[in-house]
Amino acid sequence: MRRTVILAVVAALGAGLLAGCAEDGEETAGGSAGDGGGGKGRTTITVGVFGAFGLKEAGLYDEYMKLNKHIEIKQTSIERNENYYPQLLTHLGTGSGLADIQAVEVNNIAEITATQADKLVDLGGTEGVSKDAFLPWKWAQATSRDGKTVGLGTDIGPQGICYRKDLFAKAGLPTDREAVGRLWAGDWDKYLAAGRQFKAKAPKGTAFVDSASGIMAAVTGSSAKRFYDENGEVVYKTNPAVKEAWDVAAAFATEGLTGRLQQFTPAWDQGYANGTFATVSCPAWMLGYIQDKSGAAGKGKWDVAPAPKPSNWGGSFLIVPKAGRNTTEAAKLAAWLTAPEQQAKLFEKRGSFPSAKAAYALPAVSGATHDYFGGAPIGEIFSRAAEGIPVTIVGPKDLVIAQNLADIGMLQVDQKGRSSEEGWKAAVKAIDNALDQ
């Protein structure tokens, strides 16, 4: 029996990418209370996160404390990762001010693994942790060159294509999700071709996709090699996969197939409300966001089809600093929080898709559908996508490169009418300055 997953609005921001609306955002990461610090003989475990991470909101801390009467869990949160992460690096450097467990966003895990592994507990051997339970690429992202697994994955962001059935029908395109998926199966150029078909009969005032930058992020997310090579060298300028992503996205922009929007802005939100674009690349965590911004009027009009190629956007990890006072208990808690059963609960209650493949067979995931999206079998769709995602090479400045390609380069092509070459040069200049090359 399928179960309907109600994705809370706040879950749309995902545990792994956008940090916002922290319930306890006024708090700052602090030190461990230490054994007995919880009072009444209990041990307090502190957990430092960014944004509305979801573990607390899903009730997992309460459940763990019921199972372990000697444990008290206290969470501190900093609203945005760009403020949280520099503090985490500083605290790791000084060995003070750290929570017993700290969250790490996927775009930062390579730097943490490469430069901070000696300050972190190797969680690979913790009781209850099984490498085989996780997706291989997720496990590899937090494993150092000498084989220490310093982070356990919480969630990932496998992507589909969310599309408006009503706009597809008016444009003469199929609306059934399997037929829609066949339009672009296996090739991002087929997605571009579908956009051209849509444009030929597009309802007035609508575009095929929301933004060129969104396309670029989705295409780069489907490649094993993006911005860095196996030796840790920055290669985005010469990597054919990045060139393909840039060219496809630029074609969407220059051919007038986008709504010329920037994602996560008020204008983008308004585009959902007014139904001005027909498709958007959507990780599992974005479904709640779409539901919120499209409102009641959008129910039943949206659906989800597989993306042209498996692709990932977002995800996070939990690490245990050696400087913490309760490393043994913290490692046990991190192992429990990231176990398949708990990840399935997090997906059911918060929409964060499991990084533990062992969770995909559990009813909360395998049977998940979404009423707002026409009863789409989101558990099946996103599980298939997750298992097809390549083992991506992540680098320490992935986020810097991705943001400048999107917000400096492609945005100029999409919104200001600059040529593809001009946009690329602007992005490269900004990235070079940021990386100080």
For the segment 142-169, what is each residue's pLDDT rounded down to a tens digit?
999 899 999 999 999 999 999 999 999 9
Residue 409 carries which DSSP code? I
Phi first, then psi, for residue 272 (nearest 5°) are: -65, -45
**Cα gap 398→106, rounded to integer Å:** 9
- Mean residue pLDDT of the chain comes to 89
16 has pLDDT over 70: no
Query: 145, 138, 72, 147: which is closest to 316 by C-alpha?
Result: 138
118 has pLDDT over 80: yes
371 has pLDDT over 80: yes
Indicate the pLDDT class of residue 399, thresholds 50, 70 and 90.
Answer: confident
19 has pLDDT over 90: no
For the segment 91-102, what is each residue's pLDDT rounded down to a tens digit?
999 999 999 999
Indicate the pLDDT class of residue 248, thresholds 50, 70 and 90.
Answer: very high
Kindly state the average pLDDT of the residues 46-52. 91
Indicate the pLDDT class of residue 40, thresholds 50, 70 and 90.
Answer: low
Query: Are the C-beta atoms of residues 234 and 228 closer than 8 Å to each other?
Result: yes
Task: Name the amino acid, one letter, at 128.
Answer: G
**Cα gap 369→374, rounded to integer Å:** 9
Kindly state the average pLDDT of the residues 132-147. 93
Q: Residue 38: its pLDDT value, please?
A: 53
**Cα gap 28→199, rounded to integer Å:** 49
Q: What percent of the chain has pLDDT over 70?
A: 91
Q: Residue 232: its pLDDT value, please?
A: 87
For 68, the token pair is: 């372990």
401 has pLDDT over 60: yes
Of 37-46, 317-326, 329-338, the range with the lowest mean pLDDT is 37-46
**Cα gap 356→352, rounded to integer Å:** 12
> What's the CA dihedral at 267, 273, 278, 280 to 10 degrees?
60
Query: Are the C-beta atoms of residues 23 and 10 closer than 8 Å to each other?
Result: no
Query: 284, 383, 340, 393: which is closest to 132 by C-alpha?
Result: 340
Domains identified in the chain and CATH numbers: 43-156+317-343 (3.40.190.10), 157-312+375-435 (3.40.190.10)
For the segment 311-322, what is each residue's pLDDT rounded down to a tens digit?
999 899 999 999
Q: Where are the beta strands (DSSP E) in 320-389?
A: 353-354, 368-369
Q: Residue 390: its pLDDT value, please?
A: 87
Query: 106, 70, 87, 83: which is closest to 30 by C-alpha?
Result: 87
